[in-house]
């Protein structure tokens, strides 16, 4: 019976998720419910929730002889197999990233006040500075603060390039760190990077993805802690 196969495969899924969350804090909810709340599950969340409801129906409802009240369709069984494959295989980080073409960015010749207005409108605390097809720096609220302390004001004709060394990625004393990873990076690579930063009490503000993890390559995507940890550290919103 497909019902028996479905329940058996659902137990396989639960076993995989048990191993995934072993040793991690997570409250009293089931591992499936926990995974539904994990950003990693987003591409299969709706299908998994439907499978969970079907599993509950098969498990907790039966006729007088103990037979399931319904029979899963072949399509539902195939869906469960696909979810298991998804959980088992490493997910590319780019699947969860804001695509490079949608990332709010600045260019060296942009008026600084104009970039700041765009950042304020969309709730961003930092944006990459793109030049000659690569990432040349980071324009951030921290760099703005440092610039004002040094120069007293930001004039109408102040350009992003005028911030000079304050745009340097991971500059000493900058207060924020940024990481570059290659297109082969997985969701788990990025999540581990943010978790390690949290353990060291040093703020990893964003991860940038380029083809080979080099600054002189086009930006393919950007991830923040919210994308992989589900916890916003600042009111950043997607453009």
83 and 11 belong to one structural domain: yes
Which residues, in sequence order, are CB contacts of 191 under 8 Å at separation 6+? Answer: 40, 228, 229
Mean pLDDT of 51-60: 89
Instruction: Output the CA–CA distances (angstroms, integers) from residue 221 to 16, 176, 183, 211, 229, in the order listed.
Output: 29, 19, 9, 10, 17
- Please state which of the ranges 46-50, 102-106, 235-239 shows the lowest mean pLDDT: 235-239
Q: How far apart are CA 151 and CA 72, in angstroms?
A: 69
In a domain, 234, yes or no: no
For residue 115, the domain's CATH number is 3.10.580.10
8 A C-beta contact, residue 213 and residue 135: no
Number of structural domains the chain divides into: 2
**Are 177 and 65 in a shared domain?**
no
57-94 tens-digit pLDDT: 888 766 656 666 678 999 999 999 999 999 998 889 99
Q: Are residues 18 and 85 in the same domain?
A: yes
- Residues 112 and 50 occupy one common structural domain: no
User: Which of 43, 63, 89 is the last residue in one of the domains?
Assistant: 89
Q: 153 lies in a domain?
A: yes
Domain that holds residue 66: 2-89
Centre a 10 Å sphere on the Cβ of residue 78 and count the other Cβ atoms it contains. Answer: 11
First to last CA, the chain: 48
Whether the full predicted model's pTM is greater than 0.85, yes or no, is no
Both tokens of 87, joined, read: 């959980």
**Residue 199 maps to a domain:** yes
Question: Distance between CA 176 and CA 172 in Å, rounded?
Answer: 9
The residue assigned the tokens 């930092």 is 126
Last residue of a domain, one of 59, 89, 119: 89
Instruction: Decide which of 73, 89, 105 is a domain's last residue.
Output: 89
Please name the residue that has the structure tokens 């690579």: 189
- The contacts of residue 196 (CB under 8 Å, 6+ apart) are none
Residues 129 and 178 in one domain: yes
Q: Are 34 and 142 part of one and the same domain?
A: no
Count CB atoms within 10 A of the CB of residue 190: 27
Question: Residues 48, 128: one domain?
Answer: no
Instruction: Give the per-residue pLDDT at 239.
Output: 35
CA angle 119, 108, 226 (to 5 degrees): 35
Whole-number Å distance between alpha carbons of 67 and 158: 75
Does 205 lie in the same domain as 135? yes
- Least trusted range by pLDDT, from 27-41, 43-57, 187-201, 218-232: 187-201
Contacts for 188-193: CB closer than 8 Å, 24+ residues apart: 188/90, 188/91, 189/93, 190/93, 190/96, 190/223, 190/227, 190/228, 191/40, 191/228, 191/229
Q: Where are the beta strands (DSSP E) in 4-101?
A: 98-99
- Does 85 lie in the same domain as 175? no
Assess whether pLDDT exceeds 60 at residue 237: no
**Which residues have C-beta within 8 Å of that of residue 59, sequence separation ≥ 6?**
7
Residues 99 and 81 in one domain: no
Q: Are residues 57 and 171 in the same domain?
A: no
Is 237 within a domain? no
Check whether residue 80 and residue 142 sit in a common domain. no
Query: Is 236 a domain residue?
Result: no
């Amino acid at each position: 019976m497909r019902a028996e196969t479905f329940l058996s495969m659902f137990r396989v899924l639960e076993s995989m998720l048990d191993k995934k969350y072993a040793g991690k804090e997570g409250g009293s909810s089931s591992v499936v419910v926990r995974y539904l709340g994990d950003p990693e599950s987003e591409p299969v969340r709706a299908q998994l929730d439907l499978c969970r409801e079907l599993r509950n129906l098969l498990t907790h409802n039966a006729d007088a002889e103990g037979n399931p009240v319904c029979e899963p369709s072949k399509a539902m069984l195939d869906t469960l197999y696909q979810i298991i494959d998804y959980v088992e295989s490493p997910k590319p980080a780019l699947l969860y990233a804001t695509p490079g073409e949608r990332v709010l960015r600045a260019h060296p010749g942009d008026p600084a006040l104009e970039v700041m207005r765009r950042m304020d409108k969309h709730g961003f605390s930092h944006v990459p500075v793109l030049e000659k097809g690569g990432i040349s720096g980071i324009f951030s609220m921290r760099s703005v603060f440092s610039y004002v302390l040094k120069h007293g004001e930001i004039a109408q004709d102040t350009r992003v390039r005028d911030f000079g060394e304050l745009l340097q990625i991971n500059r000493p004393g900058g207060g924020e760190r940024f990481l570059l990873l290659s297109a082969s990076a997985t969701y788990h690579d990025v999540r581990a990077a943010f978790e390690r930063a949290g353990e060291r009490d040093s703020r990893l503000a964003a991860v940038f993805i380029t083809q080979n993890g080099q600054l002189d390559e086009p930006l393919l995507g950007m991830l923040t802690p919210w994308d992989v940890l589900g916890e916003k550290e600042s009111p950043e919103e997607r453009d």
